[in-house]
Structure 1
Amino acid sequence: MNHRLKGAALAALLAASPAVAQDQTLRMATIAPSLGQAITMATFANIVNDNLDSVTIEVAAGGAATLHQLEVGRGNLDFAMTSPTIYALMVNGRAMYQNEADAPEAAENLDLLMWFPYGQYHYTVRADSDIEYLDDIEGATVFIGPQGGGAYNAARNWIEASTGLVVGEDYEAISANWQTGFQAFLDGNIDMYVNGCLDPCQQFIQVTETEAIRFIGPESTEGDAVEAFLGNFSYLEEIPANAYANQANDGPTWSHNTAVGIAVRGDLDEETVYQITRAFWENLAQVTSDAPWAQAISMEYAVRDLAGMPLHPGARRYYEEAGAL
């Protein structure tokens, strides 16, 4: 074989071999940077960036995951936070997606890279508050998340399912973003603040530096309404009594948890997503051992079948090779 033919054969071989497109810059959107889920996603991006030379993931924090998820499906973003609930709503064009005519079509271009625990929802009052249970918030002013977001809807529905109290009728939920809602609690302008996270959460570390707080739950976590709320995507989980030094609870508090995940653009090429998934899982140990989300994460959880959201073919290939599927 002459040199020209050898060169042609080599070029053909390289063309046929899967490879990550060189020097790709991919865009990830996540929620407020102070929140645990945003920290998880930013750390994911950092691990990939540190260990995969051909890919850079740029992270923009802030805004609503519900909108980010839609933009991934539309092809305007590459990664965003998802959840089984908001994915199902997008597929069916319901709730916050009812006025987005292309939402069901965009959902067809939305795949999963991994699930991870959202964290228990912490319904929080000051230790000297006369609110001892969620049932006691009638007439109170609270922050339960940015209105129209997934966290707001989850907290509102949990309160109604477990206590019968209805937002806007029995208690007032302020309209604020995450930062403003937390500041309102710090300033004493609201009676209860809600944040879902894996302990220890930065917000509660901050507030307990100067004052005592108490996490509250409903008087009962039983009943058909609670079972309907939990459905297939949420589950009961305790917040331990000793999660924070200045925490007034003398025993664990029942709350709810769910899964969230990293959604990826379905038409992002398979080899790129395979290499990204591989780079993350094979270098997860570089995260410090005291990171709460790193302790809670696992491949078994990552590949759960939730809401029928499909794994991206590249992610699926890695999980199959790793024995998680």
Structure 2
Amino acid sequence: MKFTAYAALLTGAILTTPAMAQVNLTAETASPGGSVHLAPSHLVEIAGTQGIANIQLADGQTLTNSLQNVAEGKTDIASAPHILPFLMQRGVGPYGELGGEKGAELASNLRSIYPYILGNFMLFAYDSKGIGGWDDLEGKKIFNGPPRGGALTNARAMIQITAGLKEGEGYEGIQSNWGQATTVIGGGGPDAIVLPEVFPSGRTSTLSAAGKMTAWSLPIDVFESDAMQKYIKAPGSAPIIMPVAEAAAALGDQFTVVSEDDTFRGFATVGGDVVHKDMDEELVYNLVSAYIGSLDALKAKAPFGNTVAFDNPMLGMCGANPMVYHNGAVRAWEEAGFEIDDCAKEKM
């Protein structure tokens, strides 16, 4: 039987969908304000209006848990940095309680459907805090993400590689869920922040409206070091190099961007939305085809729409990343004229 499309609740805004949708699905993502929320919320809209599926989207979630929910068949779609399937497969980090065998079993259930850049990691702080940069973090309070997840894992690693400091020893880490992050940071508790941000970011715009801020590029010697190069080539990461002027323009007039030269260096968190391997192939094909067919509309929905690689299906795929595309997604991307390398496809 058919189900009348219901109004999908998206962060307080109601999108009514007049079309008749065939399937009811659930999805989980992070809080609004970035690509990780924009992509699935866009999918909710087009899937409903095109009569493909009703998707109930829960935002403000911890993506570590969301990914496991998909792997266990509890949720249909989830947003996830690529580092999370990598860690799950090995039963380490936030998935340490699973162990290697169970982690590998669950990770084998996951399939990609489309990619995006979640954010560019950077150090930034209110000028009033008097922070001097990466070499001035010892003993400070640093906001570095949600209580669990890929963002926290990456931020801790970035601070350790760049500043040589471990949380709980060289500095005090402050965490909160994404929905409370702006309030916690704006409240003045942290001395500095290390987070992934899209350029431009709604969070940085809101925070800088309360006072001037400075963002620091990775030092050249750190960026070029073996440790950092190895890390930014790992699953879930990619190097980011852009002119300082471009970064400053994206962050806004309240920001000063500091670098040793005219180049901003950092690394990006990459990921995408995933489904269970057993999701119906025709359903996945229809969802992804509708998504690809509306990429221009998706990009136009946010100032960062053209900077997060919505239209690069090979973003972060292959190499040590255990994720491959669902067969239905492969068919949709290839029929739309995009190339999917064999290493990103299921083994037949």
Q: Which TM-score band (shorter chain)? A: 0.7 to 0.9
Report how many residues are paired: 304
Q: Is 1:285 paired with 2:296?
A: yes
Distance 2:40 2:226 in 1: 35
Distance 1:114 1:95 in 2: 25
Offset, 1:56? 1.3
TM-score (norm 1): 0.86
Q: Is 1:73 paired with 2:71?
A: yes
Offset, 1:218? 3.7
Cα distance per residue 1:56-83 (max 9 Å; x no partner): 1111012211111011011110110122
Offset, 1:147? 2.6
Distance 1:62 1:289 in 2: 23
Cα distance per residue 1:226-275 (max 9 Å; x no partner): 12221333233246122212112366532211311101111110000000
Of 283, 287, 307, the residue aligned with 1:276 is 287
Query: Where do 1:30-109 residues align within 5 Å?
Result: 30-50=29-49, 52-100=50-98, 102-109=102-109
TM-score (norm 2): 0.81
Is contact 1:30–1:62 with CA below 8 Å preserved after alignment?
A: yes
Is contact 1:73–1:110 with CA below 8 Å preserved after alignment?
A: yes
Instruction: Report % sequence identity.
Output: 25
Cα distance per residue 1:188-222 (max 9 Å; x no partner): 11111233122111111112223111112343422
**Mean CA deviation greater in 248-257 or 139-148:** 248-257
Distance 1:164 1:241 in 2: 27
Is contact 1:31–1:38 with CA below 8 Å preserved after alignment?
A: yes
Q: Which residue of 1 aligns with 2:329?
A: 315
Is contact 2:90–2:104 with CA below 8 Å preserved after alignment?
A: yes
Q: Which residue of 2 aligns with 1:16?
A: none
Corresponding residue SS for 1:278:
helix
Offset, 1:285? 2.2
Corresponding residue SS for 2:28:
strand
Offset, 1:22? 6.3
- Root-mean-square deviation (CA, aligned residues, Å) is 2.2
- CA separation of 1:304/1:82 partners in 2, compared to 1, >3 Å: closer, same or farther? same
Gaps of 5+ in 2: 1-19, 340-348
Offset, 1:321? 1.4
Query: Where do 1:89-168 residues align within 5 Å?
Result: 89-100=87-98, 102-168=102-168
Greater relative contact order structure (CA < 8 Å, 6+ sep): 1
Distance 1:95 1:64 in 2: 14
Cα distance per residue 1:132-156 (max 9 Å; x no partner): 2222111110110013211001011
- CA separation of 1:175/1:324 partners in 2, compared to 1, >3 Å: closer, same or farther? same
Is contact 1:36–1:197 with CA below 8 Å preserved after alignment?
A: no
